[in-house]
Structure 1
Amino acid sequence: MATDDNAARRGAGAREPGLIQTRGPRVEASVRSDARQEAAVQPVVPVIIDCDTGVDDALALLLAVRHPGLDLRAVTCVAGNTDVDGVVRNTLTVLERAGAPDIPVARGAERPLLEPARSARHVHGSDGMGDLGLPAPTRAPAAVDAVTLLRREILASPRPVTLIPTAPLTNIALLLRTHPEVTRNIERIVFMGGAVGVGNATPVAEFNVWHDPEAAAILLGADVPITMYGLDVFTRVVVPGTEVRRLRASAEPGAKLAGDLLAHRPSAPGTTPDDEEAGGLGDAGAVCAVADPAGLTTRPLPVEVSLAPGPARGQTIVDRRPRPGEAEIHGGARARPLVEVALDVDVDRYVDLYLKTVERP
């Protein structure tokens, strides 16, 4: 990211928050990204995905496996869209379908830090994968737990790793608290979660953060560069129905699976009023943001999570004020680390990136 990462660690008063373009100059919406051309000029990025594999996590995995500029080193699983055992099963199935059966997968937290587990089966189907009737995986997960696998892969990587959590942040919080030494080899954490505007789990809270607010608070307080890919951009990246139908007709198993998943995942109301078969990329957008950061417009802003019981629990409070308020002036508020908050996205660029990648021979 073309920002001062040290400034992002210093606090809210470190710099004037202005719109920036992630890792590159501002681009016009008409620009198209060819994943193979991008990979030719950029070093391969080692990544680890921490997921609760439902429909859009599966879309994210398919992209990460197939993109030539990404090296998916491991996948860790956490309860969220469905129970953690279902998440593990779904993850292994997707990786096998994508032709990547050797990527290590580990079982993680089965519940949030403080509260009982919840799920989103009403969105992702009873199996978390749109009830597509996919075959069971042919292999078992790693013998180690998710936190152990995360630590091992991060510290063993010859280049700093980018973490892409697309799920409740329980595993990541446990990692940061129990093994703080891993931050020295983390390039950035790009997480799908939070919202500047309205929520989805509640009027103000996004599901992943709402599911485990304490874990999200630990992440947002970490001494590591962070990008928040929240609902404000999450709902906007939509694949047109014509492309969804084309994917579903593909002879390539991974591309066909992507089409079937997109068909189960309707676009957000109002985004494509004349195209009922369009499907939102959802979590896969966070992987796009790592593969092609120039398609995302972010601003370094203070973010904190509401932890108090009540209707605002799990809300990400994003401070977009141009200058400190009375609470900061009079010493009543602590300085908070800055987070690169995604405020705009080049929709066509990311849709093109996704389609070109999952359809690669």
Structure 2
Amino acid sequence: MPNGLPIPVIIDCDTGVDDALALLFAVRHPGIDLRAVTCVAGNTDVDGVVHNTLTVLEQAGAPGIPVARGAERPLIEAPRSARHVHGHDGMGDLGLPAPRRLPADLDAVALLRREILASPRPVTLVPTAPLTNIALLLRTHPEVTRNIERIVFMGGAVGAGNATPVAEFNVWHDPEAAAILLTAGVPITMYGLDVFRRVVVPAAEVRGLRASTEPGARLAGDLLAHRPATPGSAPDDPTEDAGGLGDAGALCAVVDPEGLTTHRLPVEVSLGPGPARGQTVVDRRPRTGESELHEGTREQCLVDVGLDVDVQRYVRLYLETVATVAHSRPTAADGGSGAQR
């Protein structure tokens, strides 16, 4: 937090179990001023994402944050949900109450532009979803980059993928949008599967959250329990109830970047048809290869790629944050996002 001030943050998400975990963290950490949340199709359809996002914010005690509906499909591909992971409703089918309010009366791109340009300090943009909304924003309103401090996105992989052997879901869902993101011209951190999979909350801590009488903490426990760290574990396995933080780790990296080890590396997205489509090709070679020697060097984007993470540090940070009742949020009068506008 520069000068002790909270970091202005906007989340673009496809809520989603682990997006919900990220939202719970963002509204409760005193180092984050969550100015808005925008929604895109991904884990479930975009209307379901809006519904889930509004519900999570109400459960977390932060119902006034502006929420907007965004793209209902990728730039080129048909939408492909992940309900087999996140449940039919995208939120683990927990039977949560319907939200009591509606989203903002403007679309996601318009809300992103408004909140980025209106922020008194440069914004950190945290996409935890397919990058369609962000690509549309950058192509429609490139002037926003002058007030973006950094983009920390959950997506991509240096090693194995999850949507395909080499492609991570968010990038695979809309590869063209991810390629546009990499041309944003602002600092970018890639919080990919290589670190995403490692940050796991132990079973005892998950059970403690589920036993809480505070709605937000209890919801965090229920969400973590829905995503076991080791899918297919036996019923008597003591790690069965452990749960991965997933997208929430990207928010931990915003407030505690020293917990994430990054290397600045060239990254590009594979856009051609075939088994490599959607792969984030990360160049970790120590020297130029034969391809560049014979064909010339391609222009590549330099990205701070997450390669290692202090697991215990981020687990502790998350638990200490979500177990705390939401801090008193700043109002528009004192520079914060305030209530729905």
TM-score band by shorter chain is over 0.9
1:196-235 equivalence runs, <5 A? 196-235=158-197
| 1:284 maps onto 2:248 in alignment | yes
Cα deviation, residue 183, structure 1? 0.4
SS of 1:287's equivalent in the other structure is helix
The alpha carbon displacement at 1:330 in A equals: 4.0
Q: Which residue of 2 aligns with 1:184?
A: 146
Runs of at least 5 residues in structure 2 that lack an aligned partner in the other structure = 326-341
Question: CA RMSD, aligned part only?
Answer: 1.6
Out of 15, 19, 35, the residue aligned to residue 57 of structure 1 is 19
Secondary structure of 1:263's counterpart equals helix
Tell me which amino acid in the other structure corresponds to 1:359.
A
Q: Which amino acid aligns with 1:309?
A: P
| Structure with bigger RCO (C-alpha 8 Å, 6+ apart) | 1
Could you tell me whether the CA contact under 8 Å between 1:235 and 1:268 is conserved in 2? no
SS in 2 for 1:320: coil
* Shift of residue 325, structure 1, vs aligned partner: 1.6
Q: What percent identity do the matched residue pairs reach?
A: 81
Shift of 1:327: 2.7
Q: TM-score, normalised by structure 2?
A: 0.92
Amino acid at match of 2:317: L
1:123-164 CA distance string (max 9 Å, x none): 000000000000000000000000000000000001000000
8 Å CA contact retained: 2:125, 2:150 = yes
> Which position in structure 1 is the counterpart of 2:87?
125
2:288 is the counterpart of 1:324: yes
How far 1:274 moved relative to its partner?
A: 4.6
1:326 positional shift? 2.5
Q: Write the distance in 1 (CA, Å) between the matches of 2:223 and 2:232.
A: 20
CA-to-aligned-CA distance 1:272-306 (integer Å, 9 cap, x gap): x7511100000000000001111000000000011
Give the structure 2 partner of residue 304 of structure 1. 268
Distance verdict in 2 for CA 1:158–1:326, change over 3 Å: same
Deviation at residue 332 of structure 1 after TM alignment: 2.5
Q: Structure 2 counterpart of 1:60, which letter?
A: A
Instruction: Verify: 1:254 aligned to 2:230, yes or no.
Output: no
What SS is found at the alignment partner of 1:115? Answer: coil
Question: How far apart are residue 236 of structure 1 and its match?
Answer: 0.3
In the alignment, what sits opposite 1:98? 60
1:58-99 superposed Cα distances (whole Å, 9 cap, x missing partner): 000000000000000000000000000000000000000001
Return the offset for 1:328. 2.5
- What's the CA shift for 1:268? 4.4
Partner Cα separation in structure 1 for residue 23 and residue 280 of structure 2? 26
- 1:342 correspondence with 2:306: yes
Q: TM-score, normalised by structure 1?
A: 0.87
Q: Is the 8 A contact 1:268 1:280 kept in 2?
A: no
What CA distance in whole angstroms lies between the structure 2 residues aligned with 1:105 and 1:333? 42
CA distance in structure 2 between the partners assigned to 1:80 and 1:190 by the alignment: 18
1:236–1:280 CA contact under 8 A, matched in 2: yes
